[in-house]
A and B are shown apart, each in its own frame.
Chain A
Amino acid sequence: MLALRLARGAHPLVLLRRLMVAAASAGVGFLLLCTLGYAASHPAQAAASVMRLLWCAVPLAAMVQLAVVVARADPASRPKPGLSSVGLGPFRLAMVAAASTAASCVVGSAIALLVFLYLRGDLGSPPVHGVLTQVLGAEARLPGAGVITLLGAAPVLAATSAAIALRPPANRPDTTPDAGRPPAEQPADPGTAQILPPVTTAPRGLPWGVALMAMGLALEAYAGHGVPPAPESLLPMPGRLGSGSPGVIGGWMLTAIGLIFAGPGLTHAAGRLLSAGRPSALRLLAGRVLQGEAQRIGRPLGVLCAVASGALATSELYGSASASAPGSPFGPLTGLGAALVMSCATATVLTAAVEMRSLRGTTTAALQRLGVTTRLLRHAVAARTAMLFLVLAPVTWLVAELAAMPLRS
């Protein structure tokens, strides 16, 4: 109830972010229900159904990531003196954040169920004909337990991840350089430790990321070697029949995970480039802040790059095939899934940027007291964005090209 009361008084932007989570959860729920409908109406094609279900994991992961970032950026989930004085410490607030995440996801799942049943004609409406009939599996009865299990997946996963991500760190012996500081100067509220201190050293994920990418590309090149270049049988896209090529899919997955790992390191490198040499105030502020926030903003950026490179590679491979309508490798739900993943990744980056901005509020206010103009701050944001684009776009393009190369004729 507290989660709802806190949500009622929240800023419209915060509610909009919750709404995004609900919409993403609705999309994922709809995809999962379609998988169930397909499986129920095609009991003979179990392999294809499993393939569809596995593909649903990608939008589900993107949705969970968005939910976690939204929960973290939520002002209600941050320790506040007002709430901690009534006994709501960081632990309880993490629970509140998990509850509100679960609530948004449940709303989304309910909408997905309603839309799905409406389209199937189970709510007394005429069922939809045409291409959607096969997708929805309108002729078969849906198993109730399956519906509940699949629809429950998004809220449970999102709420658990939010609770884990927001739980305050355990009291472990301090290994940070400021361990020698007297206790009075440590942050008074243990919850403030949740706000990550700016990373002063480069994130360590970059070599791992590059290694994973190389492994993924190598695996894919090995598995894709000798595959006849028929676009339909190359890689089973969601919503299409066909046997999977686990090597190719595994390679793509490894490459994507490598890009996600490399994200913070690449962001840090972009910041270092920006403030290289003898920087002016603008470059110094823009670059160092990017370096400091590399951990927070780099991971979502890595996900966005992975999604973008996947989309680029797919359009390279199947672009010509999709032009000819009958042999299209894309099923009717591929578009929904792809749009869901891309919008989730973009929304996650934007939410992380907004979170970063709100966490830097006190520093920004102090800079403005020094006479830093709003214009300079805006230019710094523009410089950061441009630098990130200059660093990340070529990497994304290169990975996409390399991923598509072995599969091309």
Chain B
Amino acid sequence: MVTPPDNDVLWARALHHSHNGSPALANVSVGVREGEILAVTGPRGSGKTTLLRCLAGQILPESGEVWFNSVPVHTMGPMDRERLRRDRFGWIDTEPHLVPELTAWENAALPLLLRGTPHRVAKAVAQEWLERLDVADCTRKRPAALLQAQRQRVSIARALACEPFVLFADEPSAILHRSDRAQVLRTLTAAARTHGITVVLATHDVEVAGLADRTIALLDGRRVGGGVVTGGTEGRAACSLSV
């Protein structure tokens, strides 16, 4: 067994996975460095979501290894993986998927409450994040009364409020209009950089990939090309100003 490199906080080797026989990932290896923003690009059906879910411990790959901070994720039991997701990882879906019965701030505070943070602290932190994401005026509204862009912002606030070690974002801007898309992604990447959060961002948009430090491309469940360093100076410059 090869020990993971020191600077890779999350590391996967030779991942194979299929959904009930339909191949999704074939021999994918990837390393994510601490504090970086890694974009996973590729068209629909290229295995981006499956790769993210394998890395986040939501599904176990059929073969291959996933390591987080020198701890093997692929050998963990379901309980341990749930705890790892709750305490260390954040997740942003393509659709907001908020709990419809809870108000915006309750949704954003939910991960904190799950970790046992006192109610008052959780509320304050959630409201602070909602303010940063420009949705402070709808903290008391329920998801049904919000616009789609606002809902996605709340969902991003929910993921960032608990300041996860690694944040997985599965096409977070795909359902938004272009103006919202740029702003949401800029806020997300800037916040991640200021708080040193490692981000794995799946996207099929080349512009979005431009915000990342490094890009890897998937095609038909395989990696194509090497990891491309894309600079991501835009996000770095913005972080000190906007957040």
Contacts and interface: CB of A to CB of B under 8 A. Distances in A.
Interface of A: 177-178, 181, 185, 197-198, 200, 278-281, 284-285, 288-289, 291-292, 362-363, 365-374, 376
Given A281-B110, A371-B87, 15 more contacts: A178-B144, A198-B144, A200-B142, A278-B119, A284-B110, A292-B100, A363-B99, A366-B99, A369-B97, A370-B158, A371-B82, A371-B83, A371-B84, A371-B89, A372-B114
Given A200-B142, A289-B101, A370 B119 contact: no
Interface string B155-182: 0001000000000000000000000000
Contact of B86 (A181, A278, A285, A372): A372
Contact of A177 (B56, B79, B145, B148): B145
B65 interface: no
B85 A370 contact: yes
A367 B79 CA distance: 15
A278, A279, A369 pick with most chain B CB within 10 angstroms: A369
A181 B148 CA distance: 9
Interface residues of B, number: 32
Contact of B102 (A181, A288, A370): A288
A370 B110 contact: yes
B85 A288 contact: no
Nearest to B84: A371
B220 interface: no
Given A197-B100, A288-B102, A369 B82 contact: no
Chief secondary structure at chain A's binding surface:
helix
A365 B170 CA distance: 15
Contacts of B114: 281, 370-372, 376
A185 to B, nearest CB: 5
Contacts of B213: none
Chief secondary structure at chain B's binding surface:
helix
A185 B148 contact: yes
Contacts of A281: 110, 113-114
B119 A279 contact: yes
B6 to A, nearest CB: 27
Contacts of A366: 93, 97-99
Nearest to B118: A278
27 contacts: A178-B144, A198-B100, A200-B101, A200-B142, A278-B119, A281-B110, A281-B113, A281-B114, A284-B102, A285-B110, A288-B106, A292-B100, A363-B97, A363-B99, A365-B97, A366-B98, A369-B91, A370-B86, A370-B91, A371-B86, A371-B87, A371-B89, A371-B114, A372-B82, A372-B114, A373-B83, A374-B82
B19 interface: no
Contacts of B100: 197-198, 292, 363
A177 B190 CA distance: 33
Nearest to A363: B99
A197 B86 contact: no
A197 B98 CA distance: 13
A291 B86 contact: no
Closest 7 CB pairs of A and B: A371-B86, A366-B97, A292-B101, A371-B85, A281-B113, A278-B119, A288-B101
Interface string B136-152: 00000010110110000
A369 B113 contact: no
